[in-house]
A and B are shown apart, each in its own frame.
Chain A
Amino acid sequence: MTEALLESIDRAKRTGDFEGLIQQIPYFCFLGLGARVDGDGVVGCLRYSDPLIGNPVLPALHGGTIGALLESTAVLELFWQAETVVIPKTINITVAYLRSGRPVDTFARATITKHGRRIASVFATAWQDDEQRPIATASANFLVTPA
């Protein structure tokens, strides 16, 4: 980790502004990932663009993009909740696809189910118009080490 990246993580933790951090991760820019913080934590956002489509006939979002949104939101929530700057590494993730992702913006929230000394278990939910009607959920384990 270079200083610039650690500084962005630290800044996001202090201010809730993840934009600087996201700008440094090429894959997040490729996806069109955004994030903000509200009273319940981080809300990840996958801004709709045509290259996110996996089924052009329906059309529906590619499952991989929804998986990436859920995993990324879980990582940002771990940054946000941790007392110090930490580097989470994904061990595994299981995504349940509940509804097809329509070609609109998609949002996600993550809850840390258990944060141990080295391992964190996170549950995440993605939705489009109505947070009560999730289009996908994920549970993931992360190896969390101090930066």
Chain B
Amino acid sequence: MNLNLTLIGQAISFAIFVWFCMKYVWPPVIAALEERSKKIADGLEAANRASRDLELAQEQASQILRESKDNAAEIIEQANKRANQMIDEAKEQVIADGKRLREAAQAEIEQDVMRAKEALRAQVSVLAFAGAEKILGATIDEKAHSEIVEQLAKEL
């Protein structure tokens, strides 16, 4: 085992190999590796962002749903209220109408009674005249006694 020129030859070839590797092999490979790791990182980040967006959208959707439910409930409540109101109004109307009709009917009845009384009174006076004529046997001057008769009629 002797040391000789091989030592130096080996060192030179080693240096050349290292230089070549440093110049033409290492940079492209390591650049590609870095680029890929960057790509992967970007992809992961995008995925994260997307899932975050999704979460946000879901939250928004559920909020909108909740709001619309609330709105619908409000609308239904309003409608109910309105219906009740209308029923009440109608009831009042009906009561008022009934009352008015009754009053009108009563007034008519009273009027009829008055009219009947008038008629009766007139007929009573005629009857009284006739009765008095029969009793007195003479015609009573209507003009002369009308005052008395009218007084009588009034008293009736």
Whether chain B is bound by chain A comes out as no
Q: Which residues of B contact A (CB under 8 A)?
A: none
Q: Which residues of A contact B (CB under 8 A)?
A: none
